[in-house]
Amino acid sequence: MTAIAKVKSTQGRSPLTLAAKVFHWVNVGSLFIMIASGLQIYNANPVFGGRAGWHFPFVGLLGGWLAGGRHWHFAGMWLFSLNLLWYGVYILATRRWRHRYVGANDLKALQLSKNPKRRIYAWHRVVYTAIVPVLLLALLSGIGMYKPAQFDWIVNLFGDWFALRVVHFLTVPAVLIFTWVHSLLALKAGGDRLIQAMVPWPLSKS
């Protein structure tokens, strides 16, 4: 809290609301649970190659065995989806969606701007906006795999069972690559100040 107060005093106001921070870190935590337990489930029957296919090394997997992975996955799904839900309602209700995500001005800056800082900021907004549909896709494909009989239309939407599994799985590398690029761009676009505004503990040693 003191870190946030410090940023507030130096900048007038925090660029990020508490709501955005809570969403961000709950999202990080729930994605960790979903990915680590999801890869444990993956190992029971790899999407690519079936039982003879390549398995993930057990280090870093969550659950220990298939049932354990499922238990964590189907507990974490509530954290993940309800966090997305309240945040979605929040940005719609407060009309933050209008200026918090990539817009025409960012796309224009990417084409025309000679200012490297403006361009990096535009890329930063492009990237963190792009993860939103990926998260929703993970949720949709996940519901389709969890309840394929009740939500048969979801499976049909993706084509068949294999396509559904591939899409659900590909959200994992998508999120991991996003995390890497997003962290770098956040550092470049906002520097220590942005990182400090998002991280609830003091980073700088000075």
Partner 1 sequence: MSSDLPPPSTNLPEDEGLPRRSFLRFAGYTAFGWIATATGLTLLESPINTLFEPINQRVEAMIFNPQRLIPEFPLTAIEPDKLIVNSFRLTPILDPITFRLEITGAVANPVSLSLQEIQRFPKVSMVIRHVCVEGWAAIVQWGGVRLADLLQLAQLKPTARYVYFESADGYFGSWDLASATHPQTLLAYEKNGSPLPVENGAPLRLASPLKLGYKQSKWVTRIVITEDFLRAQNNQLMKGYWEDLGYEWYAGL
CB of 189 closer than 8 Å to CB of 121? yes
Kindly identify the residues of this chain, within the stretch 54-93, that bind partner 1 according to CB under 8 A. 59-72, 74-75, 78
Q: Token pair of 68, please?
A: 């354990």
Which is nearer to partner 1, 66 or 110 (by Cβ)? 66
Q: How many CB atoms lie within 10 A of CB 174?
A: 18
DSSP 8-state class, residue 52: G
Report in angstroms how near the CB of residue 93 gets to partner 1 at its nearest. 26
Q: Which residues contact 204 (CB under 8 A, 6 or more apart)?
A: 192, 196
Q: Which two tokens stand for residue 54?
A: 């390549």
Find the shortest distance in angstroms from Cβ 50 to partner 1.
7
Q: Does 45 bind partner 1 (CB under 8 A)?
A: yes
Torsion on CA atoms 161, 165, 166, 172, rounded to nearest 10: 170
Q: Which stretch binds partner 1 (CB under 8 A): 89-97, 122-130, 132-140, 148-156?
A: 148-156
Least CB distance to partner 1 at residue 173 (A): 15
Which positions touch partner 1 (CB under 8 A)? Answer: 32-33, 36, 41-42, 44-45, 47, 50, 59-72, 74-75, 78, 147-150, 152, 155, 161, 165, 183-184, 187-188, 191-192, 203-204, 206
